[in-house]
Amino acid sequence: MRWRSSHLPLLLVLLLSLLTLTPAKSESTTSEFRICSYNIQKFNKEKAKDYRMMNTLTRVVYRCDICLLQDVVDPDGSVIKALLKSINRYDGFVYKSVSSKPLGKSATDMQKYVFIYREQTASVIGQHQYESKPQVFTRAPFAVHFQSMKTRVNKFVLVPLHSDPAQAVQEMNQLYDVFETVTKLWDNLNVMFLGDFHAGCAYMKKTDKKNIKLFANTSFSWLIGDKVDTTVREDTSCPFDRIVVHGRVFLKAVVPYSAKVFNIGRELKIQRKRVRKMSDNLPVEVRLKSSALLLQATPLLFLLGVVQLLRSL
């Protein structure tokens, strides 16, 4: 068989593409992407000065590519600055944060939503503070548009909610309007809602579900179920903290059965009283499938192209 010189440039391009698109085997390309949510309960300067508590929180956050913290009382930003310093003293990853403004209806109870994320695996490409008149939310969602080349869905929107227990059902129902707002804003249907919704026990009953659009609309998948206990106390068993994703594309990008509670006491070998000192809530998390498998499949397509070219020579 004689090769035609006119085909050689194309052949070289295909071979170079094959080499450059083959991913290196490392933790950043082969492991899954973890998104976490934690109501840390009045995370203020006093808690930030507690070395044990900060060490525990550092270990919780460091497991995650993106971690949403709720009930952060940090008007000047010093509390999150101290946490980032604690997290970034470890080698391997650099963490950054993006925060909402202080939110609440009372000057004595102003809280922030804070996303802490790994610079190596995620980046912020947009943020939006939701507002409505009349304002239904006590702490209106602060939506953040993230991008990550590590996940099957490269761009997605995270929408946090720490509801007021007394109006949990109304606030959860209003999340559908937030969904419509952010999808139009960023032209992206890959939306995840997460946070302490108070979605259970006395605050949300089975009969309330018909009044919540995110339950009635089958496009939304509730990954933390109604029977999951997200509380620390032994005398309660309530699914307050939730993770909800929209659409089949986003749902298929989720690692099956990966949405769960992270039991700090059991996993980190910490006494219950120390866990309760941090918060009455436990963190919840979900993992997204890695894009590494897709990248590994791409060179194969080029290889098939090379075979087809050789056959035509």
Distant-in-sequence contacts of 209-212, Cβ < 8 A, 24+ apart: 211/169, 211/173, 212/169, 212/172, 212/173
Which region among 160-174, 234-248, 292-306 has the lowest average model confidence (pLDDT)? 292-306
pLDDT at residue 248 tops 50: yes
Residue 98 CB-density burial (10 A; 0-12 exposed, 13-18 middle, 19+ buried): middle
Q: Tens of pLDDT along 253-273?
A: 999 999 999 999 999 999 999
| CB crowding 38-72: b at 16 or more within 10 Å, else e | bbbbebbeebbeeeebbebbbbbbbebbbbbbbbb
Which region among 145-149, 209-213, 242-246, 305-309 has the lowest average model confidence (pLDDT)? 305-309
**Half-sphere CA count of 60, side-chain side, radius 13 A:** 31
Give me the pLDDT at residue 22, please: 40
pLDDT at residue 238 tops 50: yes
Kindly report the three-state secondary structure assignment for every residue of 141-168.
CEEEEEECCCECCCEEEEEECCCCHHHH
| Cβ atoms of 141 and 160 closer than 8 Å | yes
Residue 25 CB-density burial (10 A; 0-12 exposed, 13-18 middle, 19+ buried): exposed
Number of Cβ within 10 Å of residue 198's Cβ equals 26
Q: How far apart are CA 91 and CA 72, in angstroms?
A: 26
Q: Tens of pLDDT along 159-192?
A: 999 999 999 999 999 999 999 999 999 999 999 9
Q: What is the CATH number of domain 33-296?
A: 3.60.10.10
Give me the pLDDT at residue 91, please: 82
Residue 292's pLDDT band (cuts 50, 70, 90): confident
Smallest CA-to-CA distance from 225 within 255, 259, 248 is with: 259
Q: Tens of pLDDT along 71-112?
A: 999 999 999 999 999 999 988 899 999 999 999 988 889 999
Which region among 26-35, 49-58, 61-70, 142-151 has the lowest average model confidence (pLDDT)? 26-35
Task: Provide mean pLDDT across the span 184-202.
Answer: 98
- What global pTM score does this model have? 0.85
pLDDT at residue 121 tops 80: yes
pLDDT at residue 281 tops 80: yes
Residue 2's pLDDT band (cuts 50, 70, 90): very low
Name the residue ranges covered by the structural domains of the chain. 33-296
